């Protein structure tokens, strides 16, 4: 209920505050508006009815590298972090676990609520790590790009492939841990790697094809949503008796996916603008902005533009 209500509050705020362009924002200052307009430069290029090159998109290996990485990351997230309480309990760490989380006997629970406080903190710790390091890792990536230390593609591969390989190691380590506190620390470290993944993955669509970034994100997010649906189902199908060997199989599958994702993105990932994304924009006259502009009109518009310049 609470997430749903928060979603409604966010929607209302978004509907009221977000505008189509800076000129329509009643809250923007004159200085900020001038800064944005000067940064964008003269807006002679008007994009209408963008034609997405679906064949090129669906056959682009760099795009599928993003999609595979997106799928793998969401699978690992839902396999481990969202299943953390059941995972720790299922590994038969009952004695140590009751000292840390809320699986103790209710009669033995501290009436001061200390277990509840510890449980809440430990359950949210991986998310706090992800939220904090995502900002930091993004700033570091931007700094590396700004200083020209290395190319964008190398940075993206370093972040995504390095994070995936780190998570493979941590998942294997989890199999052999025998303390609940060790599991929590290991999962928190995995969350740190996930933060690095998102810092690179979130910008990669825009780097490949700025004009089609929304479509690319929509497709990869749809595929990743399938991971969010199937991963808990797979875990529930395997982990029926909450035994350690069942959870180990879940960890091995997640590790194999992370390894495959690292190899695939390492081979085909890119942060360079793709050739199929270099489609020249339609240029229309200032008094003809409402005209539908697509590929069928490109030649006609160019001819008209040449005639106007000749006159």
* High-pLDDT (> 90) share of the chain, %: 32
Q: How far apart are CA 294 and CA 119, in angstroms?
A: 57
Confidence (pLDDT) at 49: 62
Confidence (pLDDT) at 121: 62
Is residue 286 included in any domain, yes or no?
no
228: region left, alpha or beta (phi > 0 left; psi from -120 to 50 alpha): alpha
In order, the DSSP letters of the chain are -HHHHHHHHHHHHHHHH--SSGGG-TT--HHHHHHHHHHH----B---S----HHHHHT-HHHHHHHHHHHHHHHHIIIIITTHHHHHHHTT-HHHHTTTSS-S-GGGS-TT-HHHHHHHHHHHHHHHHHHHHHHHHHHHHHHHHHHTSS-HHHHHHHHHHHHHHHHHHHHHHHHH---HHHHHHHHHHHHHHHHHHHHHHHHHHHHH-GGGHHHHHHHHHHHHHHHHHHHHHHHHHH-SS--HHHHHHHHHHHHHHHHHHHHHHHHH---SPPGGG-PPPPB--GGGTTS--SGGGHHHHHHHHHHHHH-
Is residue 239 included in any domain, yes or no?
yes
Is residue 300 included in any domain, yes or no?
no
Q: How far apart are CA 219 and CA 143, in angstroms?
A: 29
Confidence (pLDDT) at 57: 94
Between 110 and 21, the more confident residue is 21
Is residue 282 included in any domain, yes or no?
no
Asked if the model's pLDDT at residue 104 lies above 50, the reply is no
φ/ψ (deg, to 5) at 60? -90, 115
**Digit-coded pLDDT (tens) for 43-102:** 555 555 678 899 999 999 999 999 999 999 999 888 877 676 666 665 544 444 444 443
Instruction: Give yes or no: residues 26 and 150 share one domain.
Output: no
**Digit-coded pLDDT (tens) for 284-302:** 444 343 344 344 344 443 4
Question: What confidence category does residue 144 fall into, taking pLDDT thresholds of 50, 70 and 90?
Answer: confident
Asked if the model's pLDDT at residue 157 lies above 90, the reply is yes
Confidence (pLDDT) at 279: 61
The answer to whether the CB of 114 falls within 8 A of the CB of 172 is: no
Instruction: Give yes or no: residues 150 and 65 share one domain.
Output: yes
Confidence (pLDDT) at 188: 84
Instruction: Give yes or no: residues 87 and 189 share one domain.
Output: yes
295 Cβ neighbours under 8 A, 6+ residues apart: 51
C-alpha distances in Å from residue 52, one per residue of 49, 58, 202:
9, 11, 20
Instruction: Give yes or no: residues 142 and 197 share one domain.
Output: yes
Mean pLDDT of 130-140: 84
Is residue 302 included in any domain, yes or no?
no
Instruction: Give yes or no: residues 182 and 273 share one domain.
Output: yes
Instruction: Give yes or no: residues 20 and 77 share one domain.
Output: no
Confidence (pLDDT) at 159: 94
Q: How far is CA 209 from the centre of its chain?
A: 17
Instruction: Give yes or no: residues 264 and 131 share one domain.
Output: yes
Confidence (pLDDT) at 177: 79
Confidence (pLDDT) at 205: 93
Confidence (pLDDT) at 43: 58
CATH of the domain at 116: 1.20.1250.20
Instruction: Give yes or no: residues 115 and 182 share one domain.
Output: yes
Quote the number of domains for the chain: 2
Asked if the model's pLDDT at residue 28 lies above 80, the reply is yes
Question: What confidence category does residue 133 fall into, taking pLDDT thresholds of 50, 70 and 90?
Answer: confident
Instruction: Give yes or no: residues 245 and 169 share one domain.
Output: yes
Between 191 and 84, the more confident residue is 191
Rounded to 5°, angle at Cα 89 from 84 and 94: 140
Asked if the model's pLDDT at residue 190 lies above 50, the reply is yes
Rounded to 5°, angle at Cα 69 from 68 and 75: 90
Mean pLDDT across the chain: 77
Q: How far apart are CA 137 and CA 126, in angstroms?
A: 16
Mean pLDDT of 6-23: 89
pTM over 0.85: no
C-alpha distances in Å from residue 186, one per residue of 4, 95, 195, 260:
31, 19, 14, 21
Confidence (pLDDT) at 118: 52
Q: Is the alpha carbon torsion for 162, 191, 95, 235 positive or negative?
A: negative
Is residue 287 included in any domain, yes or no?
no
Instruction: Give yes or no: residues 2 and 146 share one domain.
Output: no
Mean pLDDT of 217-228: 94
Q: How far apart are CA 46 and CA 289, in angstroms?
A: 7
Confidence (pLDDT) at 242: 76
Structure tokens at 211: 């004009």
**Digit-coded pLDDT (tens) for 228-273:** 999 989 988 988 887 778 888 988 999 999 999 999 999 999 999 9
Q: How far apart are CA 153 and CA 200, in angstroms?
A: 10
Is residue 190 included in any domain, yes or no?
yes
Instruction: Give yes or no: residues 173 and 117 share one domain.
Output: yes
Confidence (pLDDT) at 134: 82
> Residue 113 is part of which domain span?
55-277
């Amino acid at each position: 209920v609470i997430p749903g209500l928060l979603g409604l509050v966010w929607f209302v705020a978004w509907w009221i505050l977000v505008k189509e362009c800076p000129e329509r924002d009643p809250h923007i200052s004159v200085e900020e508006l001038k800064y944005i307009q000067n940064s964008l430069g003269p807006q002679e290029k008007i994009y209408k009815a963008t034609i997405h090159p679906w064949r090129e998109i669906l056959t682009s290996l760099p795009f599928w590298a993003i999609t595979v990485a997106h799928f793998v990351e969401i699978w690992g997230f839902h396999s481990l972090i969202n299943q953390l309480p059941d995972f720790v309990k299922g590994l038969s760490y009952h004695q140590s676990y009751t000292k840390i989380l809320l699986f103790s006997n209710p009669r033995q629970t501290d009436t001061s609520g200390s277990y509840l406080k510890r449980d809440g903190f430990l359950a949210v710790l991986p998310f706090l790590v992800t939220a904090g390091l995502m900002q930091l890792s993004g700033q570091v990536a931007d700094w590396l790009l700004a200083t020209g230390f290395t190319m964008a593609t190398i940075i993206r591969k370093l972040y995504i492939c390095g994070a995936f390989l780190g998570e493979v190691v941590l998942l294997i380590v989890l199999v052999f841990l025998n303390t609940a506190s060790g599991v929590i620390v290991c999962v928190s470290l995995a969350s740190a790697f996930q933060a690095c993944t998102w810092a690179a993955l979130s910008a990669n669509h825009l780097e490949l094809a700025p004009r089609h970034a929304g479509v690319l994100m929509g497709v990869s997010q749809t595929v990743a949503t399938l991971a969010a649906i199937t991963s808990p189902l797979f875990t529930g199908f395997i982990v029926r008796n909450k035994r350690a060997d069942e959870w180990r199989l879940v960890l091995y599958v997640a590790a194999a996916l992370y390894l495959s994702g690292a190899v695939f993105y390492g081979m085909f990932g890119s942060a360079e603008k793709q050739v199929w994304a270099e489609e020249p924009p339609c240029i229309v006259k200032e008094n003809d902005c409402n005209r539908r502009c697509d590929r069928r009109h490109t030649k006609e518009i160019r001819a008209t533009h040449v005639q106007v310049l000749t006159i």
